[in-house]
Chains A and B, each alone.
Chain A
Amino acid sequence: MLILAEFIRAAIRLTTPLLLAALGGAYMQVAGVPNIGMEGMMLFAALIGYIVSFTTGSWVLGLIFGVLASVLVGLIYAFLVLKLNADIFAIGITLNILIGAVAAYIIRQYYDQMSMLISPDVVLFPTISIPFLEKIPILNLLLNNYSILIPVSFLLVIVTYIVFYKTPYGFWLRAVGSNPAAVSASGKDIHKLRISSFVISSVLCGLAGVHLSLGYLGMFALALVAGRGFIALAIVLFGSGNPIIVLIASLIFGAAEAVSLRIPTELIAPQFPLMLPYLLTIIAITLISRFTKTSKSGAS
């Protein structure tokens, strides 16, 4: 029983970065503008957040500036796509690559590191300790001592659900993605709604990013995001941005990753379990396209 709880705990921890990013992606997805740049947003947030943390000694500042870094990327993305009418896919891919270069440059130029950045002065996210839970081992494993953004991420699922399905703004946003004609007929500004989706999305991706460096790994590496931005994209496409589906899919991926880390290397080479998330993504994205109408996000 305890082993199962341990496993669930690991899965939950591994789910969070993907969940946060996918939630972010959901806001843009329902508005009809697929967020291709999540990988870059997360990377930049992770880097800036980490640097600010060890420079200032404050994880709060790290969080804030990490998120701001991601928002900066989001605003540039929004400007290029919405104002200058550039292709959302091309710019997204370019931004991801560009940010990779920027990050590599920063750690090399200012910190003399090739691929990772580790600092003893970094202040990581605190974990949330609930004293009375320590008395019950199973609940302790399942619910206690998580890094701060982990419970936040699950809370955000609820928040997003409420926003999407219970508030006027959520309806306007979803309408923009479903039938912009309906929105303009209703008098709301399509443009402003889309911009707001970019902003919210980049905030959430920023949280995902800073969690990766300050909450999950405790260090920064250029390979930190490892494709999660695109897996998040696949999750969001798969569920059309529905936060419940995002939660379930993220948990499945988190569990898959937890499984892959637990398989003893004597049994099977480590590379194989690691393939699981990527294979799952390919399968998932093939399946949705089979069952939905021509995906709005198809590249051509």
Chain B
Amino acid sequence: MKARNRLSGEVIYQIQSFGGAILLALLVGFFLLRLEGFSPGEVLTAANSSTFATPFRFANTISRMLTLVLVSLAAAIPFKTGIWNIGGDGQLAIGGFFTAIAGIYLVGLPPVIHITLSILAGMIGGGLWASIPAFLRLKFNANEIVTTIMMNYLAALVTGYLVNYPFRAPGAANAETLNVAGSAYLAQLVPLSNLSSGLYIVIAVFLLICFIDWKTIWGYEWRILGANDEFARYGGVRDVRMRMLSMIIGGALAGLAGSILVLGSYHKFMLNLGGGIGFTGVLIAIIGANSPVLILILSSLFAILSNGTIGLEAKLGVATEFSGILQGLIIILVITRNNIAQGVGRLFRKRKDVNSG
């Protein structure tokens, strides 16, 4: 791996401009809170109280980070090859539901097997849900931004039906399934928190994805497809196959996220399992698709932001949705960080409009 270990000037520039954009966004956040009358010190203390201060809080932050990592990778891997996957929420829901069914009905198995099968069911569910828009895109060139988003709504409606009617837990006040069998429980790592031994599964999967990304032909071909698909095809890369594979893996990862939420946090399936986290995953993927490590860092950052605003609300009365605004701001600033520099340059040059299109 000799060639890969050297940090070229380019990588350093990327780190600097990226970090700069994030810092800028955070500064804007502090500034906005300042306008509401809160000093940075107050903000940090309040945020800390809900993210790191107690084991319970810390566990929840990590739990959120894990889910984010999975749904971000779910969007990032297809994105590497040039395909949009906005369907993370739907894939998570379907995956979670499949897992719940396996968890409830495959009784009588030793826990390890039961859990494995349930998780596999979830990944298959997510993978399947993603393969449909992928197929439509690769065979018919159907715009996958539209189709994956439509699949989200369909997933909500399908699981909505399933959980309100055939699979509804009798006597339950909310729309939800029965609890999964005890043999399918993922142990809680910190009492009462959302963090379960799903942590280990996510770590393992993350390492696997890193491995695939950097150490296998697949990762290489995905990267090249995204960079210049004419070159990839010319060199013999089987583009249709690789793109479908990337979507299925993406869907499976989102399904896995759903599985872990079902087996580890809630022990049953209920509506709005992911709470829209799939979209946050897309945001992270837009700027982090090229590197699982970057995705890990961004997921941690975003998890801290999300949980941090809980404290902001409790202590300072700032609505937790503020984190969403910060996250969006970060994404826009990062996307445009190079463009800002270029754009400033272009403003000073006369525009030659021949063929600008």
Contact = CB atoms under 8 A, between A and B. Distances in A.
A–B touch (CB < 8 A): the answer is: yes
Interface of A: 32, 36, 80, 83-87, 89-91, 93-95, 97-102, 104-105, 108-109, 180-181, 184, 189-191, 226-227, 230-231, 233-234, 237, 269, 271-272, 274-275, 278-279, 281-282, 285-286, 289-290, 294-295, 297-300
B354 A91 contact: no
9 contacts: A84-B340, A86-B335, A94-B328, A101-B321, A184-B355, A184-B356, A226-B153, A275-B153, A282-B133
B328 A97 contact: yes
B297 interface: no
Given A84-B343, A109-B318, A285-B146, A300 B335 contact: no
Q: Nearest 3 CB-CB pairs, A to B?
A: A101-B324, A98-B328, A300-B82
Contacts of A234: 143, 146
Interface in B297-344: 318-325, 327-329, 331-332, 335-336, 339-340, 342-343
Q: Is the interface of B mostly helix, strand, loop or mixed?
A: helix
A271 B229 CA distance: 40
Given A191-B351, A278-B154, A281-B150, A295 B141 contact: yes
A189 B343 CA distance: 19
A86 B158 contact: no
Contacts of A109: 318-319, 321-322
Nearest to B329: A98
Contact of A290 (B140, B144, B160): B140
Contacts of A191: 351, 353, 356
Given A101-B325, A278-B154, A290-B140, A94 B286 contact: yes
Nearest to B331: A94
A230 B140 CA distance: 19
A111 to B, nearest CB: 10
B147 interface: yes
Interface of B: 81-84, 86, 133, 136, 140-147, 149-151, 153-154, 157-158, 160-161, 164-165, 229, 279-280, 282-283, 286, 318-325, 327-329, 331-332, 335-336, 339-340, 342-343, 346-347, 351, 353-357
B157 A271 contact: yes
A105 B354 contact: no
A269 B158 CA distance: 10
B357 A32 contact: yes
A60 B327 CA distance: 34
Contact of A299 (B145, B335, B353): B145
Given A108-B320, A191-B356, A97 B282 contact: yes
Given A93-B145, A184-B354, A285-B142, A271 B160 contact: yes
Nearest to A105: B321
Nearest to B318: A109
A237 B146 contact: yes
Contacts, number: 172
Given A97-B279, A181-B354, A271-B157, A80 B332 contact: yes
Given A108-B320, A191-B351, 13 more contacts: A90-B286, A97-B280, A98-B327, A98-B331, A104-B324, A190-B357, A227-B150, A231-B150, A271-B157, A271-B160, A271-B164, A282-B142, A300-B229
B155 to A, nearest CB: 10
A282 B150 contact: yes
A101 B280 CA distance: 11
Given A94-B283, A105-B325, A180-B357, A274 B320 contact: no
A80 B336 contact: yes
Contact of A84 (B133, B321, B339, B357): B339
A300 B83 contact: yes
Contacts of A89: 84, 145
A93 B282 contact: yes
Contacts of A285: 142-143, 146-147
A234 B329 CA distance: 27
B154 A105 contact: no
B343 A85 contact: yes
B335 A90 contact: yes
A286 B83 contact: no
B145 A36 contact: yes
A87 B335 contact: yes
A151 B161 CA distance: 36
Given A97-B283, A227-B149, A184 B353 contact: yes
B154 A230 contact: no
A257 to B, nearest CB: 13
A89 B327 CA distance: 18
A80 B286 CA distance: 15
A102 B335 contact: no
B147 A282 contact: yes
Nearest to A176: B357
A15 B157 CA distance: 21
B59 to A, nearest CB: 25
A36 B84 CA distance: 13
Contact of B335 (A91, A279, A281, A282): A91
A250 B340 CA distance: 38
Nearest to A288: B142
A282 B136 contact: yes
Nearest to A83: B343
A172 B152 CA distance: 37
Nearest to A109: B319
